[in-house]
Each structure stands twice: as C-alpha cells, then as structure tokens.
Amino acid sequence: MTEFEYPNKFNKTNIKRFASVLFGMQNLGHPNQFTRVNFKHPKKKDFISVVIPVYKDPEGIRDTLESLKKQTLDRSRYEVIVAIDGGDEKTGDVCRGFDVKMVNITPTNKGPANARNMGMEESSGEYIAFIDADMNATETWLETGFNALKYIADYIGGPMKIDNNNIKTLEHLYDVETAFDVNAFFSRRHFVPTGNLFVKRKLIEEIGGIDVRLIHGEDHEFGSRIYNNTNFVQLFLNLDSITAIHPPRSLKELVRKQEVYAKGLALLPYIYPKRYKKDRIIPTLLRLITPPLKPYVRFPRYKLKSTYEKFKIFQFLWLSISRYHYYKLKYIIYVKQAIKSLKK
C-alpha cells in the first residue's frame, strides 16, 4: 500500500509533494495504489471478519469488544481484527484481554481508511464487517449482517444511533437529533458510514478498498464508487437487529468532527472531479456567516424546558453550520494552493 501523509501545514516546502501524491492517480473503479488491499490469507467460506480501526481509545475499544462477545452468531463463524493506528499501550493491553487479532500499524496515525485496509489484509472471511472502536453492536448485529450478505446483497449498511440512555447535556441532545441520518445518506448519496457496514470480499478484490487519501468522506467515496462503477447490490437495512450504538459526543468532540468532515469533503471534488461538484469560495463564505433562519432540525423526542435551552440549541445549530463551512473554506483554499503548485 502506498505511503500517504497529510502535511501539518501547507507551506512551500511540502505543498508540491502533497499535491503530486494526492492528485497522482484517480480511481476509475478498479484497485490502484491508494485503494488496493493485498489479502494475505485464503478466503474461508461462510466466515466473516470484523475489522475495527482504533486510535488512542482503550475504553471505546473495550466497549465494542464486549458487545462482540455477546453476538448470537456462533463464535466459530467469525473473527475480530483490531487495527491499532498508534496511541498508548493501553489499547493493546485491552485487546489482549479478548480473543482478537491485533494489527499494529507503523508509522502510526495514518487515518481510519488506511487502518481498515490494513485490517482487511489480515482477514480470512468471505464476508467483512466494519464497526468503529467506540460503538456497541446489538446482539444480533453480526448474524443479521452475515445472513444479509449471504442471501440478499453485496454491500449492506445498518442504522447508527446515539445512546439515548446517556443524555446528560444539551450537546448530547443536539448529537442525538442531528447525527447519523444513514437512511438519507444511502437514498441520496448511495453510501453508508463505515461505522456499520458489511461487504463481500469479492467486492473489495474487484473494486479496491477504502481510499487512504481521505481522512473523512472515505465511506462516501467508497459507496459512490460501487454505485457508479459496478453491478454489486447495495442495501440499507433499517432494522434494530443490525444497529450500532454510538455514545453521545461532547462539544469538543463535535467541533473536531466538523473539521475532519469538512476536510474530507473539500478534497473529494479534486480527487474525483467526475463524481463530485467543486465548492466555490464566495458561496461557502456566505453560508459561514448566515444564521439558520429556517432551522431544519427539530427536537421531537425532548421538550425544551426554557428559553435558554431553546437559545442554546439554536446556537449549537448555527455554530455547527458555521464551523463546518469555515473548515471547508479553509481546506478549499489549501487544495487550490496545491493545484497551483503543480503548474509551476
């Protein structure tokens, strides 16, 4: 797999190297140096490999592995592979307490796309499941996904929900009502997040894995690539039996998510210009400063108790939209600088 690294800052010394690697090859629907997965083990029929990328999250991976111990699918029918993308030794210590295969990635912190591909290379299953290190799988999660791959489709996603039992702050409430509209992702953009995704190995062998150039938006690109270039059957199962549960996020975590999300989507139109429309600077700037005069988020599950709470929710919504467009504007400018550097 080709080494790829984001520079911390787009300065004169590294911007040209970044651009030449980033735009060196575009994926037209077949494996290339940024998506190729070299499977090391023979394929086992009627067997599923669960791949979990993790970076500095020992408590999150513990929760996920505990939920995978309780699966209704017979333990002889699946393996669990944890792709450790660096961090402290605590993550490895947690994994050693479970019956899992560990893949230690070096150099570290290459991103979840690279970690998933590295995990897949060590897999043996005819089928592959992805879940994130901070999520809990329902007890029937693996069995439902396994049977759906065997009898129905080649690419299958399930619902992702915020844990309603852990709502303690308005930030948590905001996260419950705005996160993971997987049904809309699938119906409008033909993808599901890799936090709850099942695929057949033959699909990866034909079209490649996750594009390692994308820190975020990689699941968007992966699903779109399948939809636009293959005849593989894609399906979203809106069932509790295949649901993955995510803990509510703090304000700091929500801010970080906005930046990563914007960075990934800013890159997509330049790596895949035939599939994604480029954002322009002026409209993005206007969206950054415009308040949500027609709030598209309602909170039907909870009654806000005061004007203060209503104001805070409106504030979260406005700040969330503004942050997203600020980061997107920032990375649009960075990528434009990278393109200019190639012309010199």
Mean pLDDT, rounded, for 269-279: 78
Q: Who wins on pLDDT, 30 or 190?
A: 190
Q: Is residue 308 part of a domain?
A: yes
State the Cα–Cα distance between residues 191 and 182, nearest whole angstrom: 8
- φ, ψ (nearest 5 deg) of residue 234: -105, 145
Name the domain count of the chain. 2
Q: Which of 52, 104, 43, 112 is nearest to 82 (CA)?
A: 52
Bridge partners of residue 81, in order along the sequence: 51, 101
Are residues 259 and 243 part of one domain? no
| Residue whose pair of structure tokens reads 């069995």 in the numeric block | 143
Q: Is residue 216 part of a domain?
A: yes
- Asked if pLDDT for residue 161 goes beyond 60, the answer is yes
- Compute the half-sphere exposure of residue 193: CA atoms within 13 Å on the CB side of its CA: 21
Are residues 132 and 78 part of one domain? yes
Q: Which of 207, 337, 271, 222 is nearest to 4 (CA)?
A: 271
- Axis crossing angle, helix 251-271 with helix 170-178, rounded to the nearest 10: 30
CB 79 within 8 A of CB 174: no
What percent of the chain has a predicted confidence (pLDDT) above 90?
45
Are residues 273 and 219 part of one domain? no
- Global pTM reads 0.83
* Number of neighbouring beta carbons within 10 Å of residue 148: 21
Q: Is residue 9 part of a domain?
A: no
**pLDDT band for position 190 (cuts 50, 70, 90):** very high
Are residues 177 and 89 part of one domain? yes
CATH code, domain carrying 230: 3.90.550.10
**pLDDT band for position 1 (cuts 50, 70, 90):** very low
Are residues 278 and 181 part of one domain? no
pLDDT at 65: 96
**pLDDT band for position 305 (cuts 50, 70, 90):** low
Distances (CA, A) of 246 to 44, 61, 157, 223, 290: 30, 12, 15, 21, 30
Are residues 182 and 282 part of one domain? no
Mean pLDDT, rounded, for 241-269: 82
* DSSP code for 300: T
The helix or strand, by DSSP H or E, that contains position 246, with its residue range, turns out to be strand 244-246
* Number of neighbouring beta carbons within 10 Å of residue 71: 20
Are residues 167 and 60 part of one domain? yes
Q: Is residue 313 part of a domain?
A: yes
Residue that finishes a domain, picked among 191, 219, 248 = 248
- Asked if pLDDT for residue 3 goes beyond 60, the answer is no
Are residues 288 and 308 part of one domain? yes
State the Cα–Cα distance between residues 12 and 15, nearest whole angstrom: 6
Are residues 188 and 289 part of one domain? no
Burial of 162 (0-12, 13-18, 19+ CB in 10 A): buried
Residue that finishes a domain, picked among 231, 248, 265 = 248
Are residues 212 and 172 part of one domain? yes
CB 236 within 8 A of CB 182: yes
* DSSP code for 247: P
| Residue whose pair of structure tokens reads 């911007």 in the numeric block | 15
Q: Is residue 7 part of a domain?
A: no
Are residues 303 and 221 part of one domain? no
Lowest model confidence (mean pLDDT) among 130-139, 198-207, 287-296: 287-296
CB 33 within 8 A of CB 1: yes
What's the domain range around 199? 15-248
- Asked if pLDDT for residue 331 goes beyond 90, the answer is no
- Asked if pLDDT for residue 211 goes beyond 80, the answer is yes
State the Cα–Cα distance between residues 91 and 152, nearest whole angstrom: 36
Are residues 308 and 159 part of one domain? no
